[in-house]
Amino acid sequence: MNRALFSAAGLALCLTLLASCGLQTQETPAPASRPPAASLSEEPSETPSDDPAGIPSGEPSEVPSESDAPLPSQPQPAMILNRCDVMFTAPGSTFQLEPTFTGTDETPVVVWTSSDESVATVDSHGRITSVAPGTATISGQTTTGLAASCMVRCRWEQPSSQPVEADLSAFAASLLERYDFGDLALAQDSRTDSLFPGLTALSARQRLVYLCQDGSNSAELVLLQLTSAGDAQAAQAILQARVDTMAGGGAWFPEASQLWAEHARVASHDSYVLLVVHPQCDAVADEFLALF
């Protein structure tokens, strides 16, 4: 009987212990669960980012394409004469004006007129004939509005028995002081050779070549005294070739090309030769010829 009581008491103790352990287990709070870490293989969100760097710009590139580059300006149609200044020293002398057209494929008909037919006349083909001492302007105009002119000077003075020596340096200084030629400066021989091929090879007592320094080609002045009549004629041809080239587009700018076409003069007296490009070219040419 003592054994039975002992067993019953032991069983009761075990139940008491078990109950106590179960109650403690229920009262112990479970640790807080942590949110699962984001998976490295998670798919990217389809929602676009608010970051401007991640949005492709709809603005065009700041670098202009070649098609946006400005096209070079086309030369304006122009009419150019083979001479813009002619000197006659005897009545009945003639000279044939030849027009050249640039900036157009057409060859329009030219109507010729003289500002003073008592000094010089011109026929329907552009042939000038001297009549009497004086000055006249021969003009040619097309039905399309193109025009060009040539100054005609008729002088019957007898040549002086003593040759006149003109100081071209002093004359140039006077012109540059009284006329606005802009930024002109004497050119070196190398520069002269590039713009007037063959000019420095001619024998000259005086040679002054003033060129525009600002790149606008808006003015020019050349004064020459050659040692022979042959060199003087060659110099005139070289200077006239310069005028024709610049008026035909070599001056680059349309305004400069027009200036060369309308306000460039080549004048000569014996061994002296002048090229002037200036809005008052006729006044300058008159002063040059008045030196002799």
- pLDDT per position as a tens digit, 191-238: 999 999 999 999 999 999 999 998 888 999 999 999 999 999 999 999
Closest CA to 224 of 191, 199, 261, 187: 199
Candidate from 67-76, 85-94, 132-141 with smallest mean pLDDT: 67-76
State percent of the chain over pLDDT 70. Answer: 72
Whether the model clears a pTM of 0.85, i.e. scores above it, the answer is no
Q: What is the mean pLDDT of the segment spanning 78-106? A: 89
Higher local confidence (pLDDT), 19 or 133 = 133
Asked whether residue 271 carries a pLDDT value surpassing 80, the answer given is: yes
- Residue 11: per-residue pLDDT: 60
Asked whether residue 173 carries a pLDDT value surpassing 60, the answer given is: yes
Q: How many Cβ atoms sit within 10 Å of the Cβ of residue 2?
A: 6
Asked whether residue 27 carries a pLDDT value surpassing 50, the answer given is: no
**pLDDT bucket at 153, cuts 50 / 70 / 90:** very high
- Residue 105: per-residue pLDDT: 82
Give me the helix-helix angle, 168-178 and 281-289, nearest 10°: 150
**pLDDT bucket at 65, cuts 50 / 70 / 90:** low
pLDDT tens, position by position, 103-119? 888 788 999 999 999 99
CA distance 265 to 189: 22
- Residue 12: per-residue pLDDT: 58
Amino acid identity of residue 16, one-letter, is T
DSSP class of residue 248? I
**Mean pLDDT, the chain, whole residue set:** 81
Amino acid identity of residue 93, one-letter, is S
**pLDDT bucket at 286, cuts 50 / 70 / 90:** very high
Q: What SS3 class is residue 12?
A: helix
What are the residue boundaries of the structural domains of the chain, listed by start? 75-157, 166-292
Question: CA torsion 183→188→191→194, rounded to 10°?
Answer: 130
Q: 200 with 207: CB under 8 angstroms? A: yes
Q: How do strand 78-81 and strand 99-102 relate by DSSP bridges?
A: antiparallel
Q: How far is CA 195 from the centre of its chain?
A: 17
What separation, in Å, do the N-terminal and C-terminal C-alpha atoms of the chain show?
171
CA distance 106 to 217: 27
The fold adopted by the segment(s) 75-157 is: Immunoglobulin-like (2.60.40)
Sign of CA dihedral 98, 104, 110, 113: negative
* Continuous segment of H or E residues that includes residue 38: none
Using the CB atoms, write b or e for 111-136: b if 16+ within 10 Å. ebebebeebbbbeeebebbbbeeeeb
Q: 192 with 199: CB under 8 angstroms? A: yes
* Continuous segment of H or E residues that includes residue 155: none
147-154 sheet: strands from edge to edge: 85-88, 147-154, 134-142, 110-114
Q: 271 with 225: CB under 8 angstroms? A: yes
